[in-house]
């Protein structure tokens, strides 16, 4: 071997080494894959890549991640989680016929830790799927009233299950004070685990500042905190059907349900009879409602008010989703509601059906 060949060999080696530090690699094998032809790599719900399995069920991914990222590998109906960054060389083996948390992963300490959370997360996904399938089966042929009752029953079941999941997730994050714990916390529902997420954000502020996902999470929690239970509800002004200005601050001194709705919103209209019932039941105790419509057609808005018997104050700027209050309250869907105490402090959010009744009964007991 001459001197030039040796030099060229070292150059190629150095180049390949440098390039290797700019990617992560998953060398994997799925046993008993049967009819599974491909595996897919996700970040959240976003598909990043997919590759074919060879005859032995082997595959390889090579991607970039300047900072640790939570990724999910989907093989058939099984989902496996990794936390990877450039430079990681991961060996992965899984048997489709065995429990989800029995897969093997080496070459990434954080991926090994998030594996400890795999069974908890898989159970949550299984329960969610069961609820969705059961609801779809039972909803066939129901009228609107029965469908709303069924929806409320399943929503209560979902909340109970997610409460257990939230406790398990918070416990995992306390036991793993690292990015594995962080990524486990990001799987929580912001509506159902608001307090836990905000408290966690306060705890990790100033850590992992170089991680874009952490920065994004902290920014999101800061926005969420403005509208969290225990915070003063942002004031706003709008117009009644008679063009009279009304401010939210005008309702201080009463327990006020701020109800965001619209005439075209079927779930809103289905919930209206319940709000009417609770309004008449508790209005003499200091309870009232402020309806904020996202309508654009004044005729439809006024007809819905009359048809549904909405006797409380109603306001709208008739700008639909372009309304300033939509951005102020970060409304992404309706119905959305905030229950305020007499000082204008948010004490509950999105209470519907029996949940609203139970909360008011407890409040005015």
SS (H, E, C) 76-145: CCEEEEEEECCCCEEEEEEECCCCHHHCEEECCHHHHHHHCCHHHHHHHHHHHHHHHHHHHHHHCCCCHH
Local confidence pLDDT in tens for the 365 residues of the chain: 445 444 444 443 444 444 457 899 999 999 998 889 999 999 988 999 999 999 999 999 999 998 899 999 999 989 999 999 999 999 999 999 998 889 999 999 999 999 999 889 889 988 989 999 999 999 898 887 788 778 878 888 888 889 999 999 999 999 999 999 999 999 999 888 999 999 999 999 999 988 888 999 999 999 999 999 999 999 999 999 999 999 999 999 999 999 999 999 999 999 999 999 999 999 999 999 999 999 999 999 999 999 999 999 999 999 999 999 999 999 999 999 999 999 999 999 999 988 999 999 999 98
The CATH 2.60.40.1120 portion of the chain extends over 3-115
Which residues lie closer than 8 Å to 113 by C-beta, 6 or more apart?
A: 83, 176, 178, 180
Q: What is the pTM of this model?
A: 0.77
Of the candidates 91, 81, 112, the residue with the CA atom closest to the CA atom of residue 24? 91
46 phi and psi angles, rounded to 5 deg = -90, 125
The CATH 3.40.30.10 portion of the chain extends over 237-363
Whole-number Å distance between alpha carbons of 167 and 310: 39
The secondary structure element, H or E, covering residue 294 is none
- DSSP letter at 345 equals B
Please name the fold of domain 3-115: Immunoglobulin-like (2.60.40)
Give the three-class secondary structure for 232: strand
The whole-number pLDDT of residue 347 equals: 97
The whole-number pLDDT of residue 210 equals: 86
The whole-number pLDDT of residue 9 equals: 44
Of the candidates 90, 93, 103, 94, the residue with the CA atom closest to the CA atom of residue 24? 90
Superfamily of domain 237-363 in the CATH hierarchy? Glutaredoxin (3.40.30.10)
The whole-number pLDDT of residue 175 equals: 95
Q: How many residues does the chain have?
A: 365
Of the candidates 330, 302, 297, 309, the residue with the CA atom closest to the CA atom of residue 226? 330
């Amino acid at each position: 071997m001459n001197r030039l060949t040796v030099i060229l060999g070292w150059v190629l080696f150095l180049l390949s080494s440098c390039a290797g530090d700019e990617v992560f690699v998953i060398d994997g094998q799925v046993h008993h894959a049967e009819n599974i032809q491909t595996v897919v790599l996700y970040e959240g719900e976003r598909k990043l890549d997919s590759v074919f399995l060879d005859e032995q069920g082997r595959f390889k991914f090579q991607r970039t991640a300047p900072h640790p990222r939570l990724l999910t590998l989907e093989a058939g109906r099984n989902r496996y989680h990794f936390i990877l960054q450039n430079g990681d060389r991961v060996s992965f083996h899984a048997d489709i016929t065995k429990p989800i948390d029995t897969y093997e992963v080496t070459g990434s300490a954080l991926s090994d830790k998030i594996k400890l959370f795999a069974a908890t997360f898989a159970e949550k996904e299984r329960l969610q799927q069961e609820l969705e399938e059961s609801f779809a089966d039972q909803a066939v042929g129901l009228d609107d009233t029965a469908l709303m009752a069924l929806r409320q029953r399943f929503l209560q079941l979902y909340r109970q299950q997610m409460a257990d999941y939230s406790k398990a997730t918070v416990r995992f994050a306390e036991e793993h004070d690292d990015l594995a714990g962080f990524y486990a916390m990001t799987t929580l529902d912001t509506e159902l685990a608001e307090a836990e997420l905000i408290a966690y954000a306060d705890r990790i502020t100033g850590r992992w500042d170089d991680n874009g996902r952490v920065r994004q999470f902290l920014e999101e929690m800061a926005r969420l905190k403005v509208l969290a239970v225990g915070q003063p509800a942002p004031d706003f002004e709008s117009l009644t059907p008679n063009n009279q200005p009304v401010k939210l601050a005008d309702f201080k001194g009463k327990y006020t349900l701020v109800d965001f709705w619209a005439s075209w919103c079927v779930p809103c209209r289905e919930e209206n009879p319940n709000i009417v019932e609770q309004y008449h039941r508790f209005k003499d105790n200091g309870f009232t409602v402020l309806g904020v419509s996202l309508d654009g057609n004044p005729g439809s808005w006024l007809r819905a008010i009359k048809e549904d018997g909405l006797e409380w104050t109603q306001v709208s700027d008739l700008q639909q989703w372009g309304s300033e209050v939509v951005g102020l309250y970060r409304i992404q869907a309706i119905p959305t509601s905030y229950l305020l105490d007499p000082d204008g402090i948010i004490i509950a959010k999105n209470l519907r059906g029996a949940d609203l009744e139970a909360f008011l009964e407890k409040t005015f007991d």
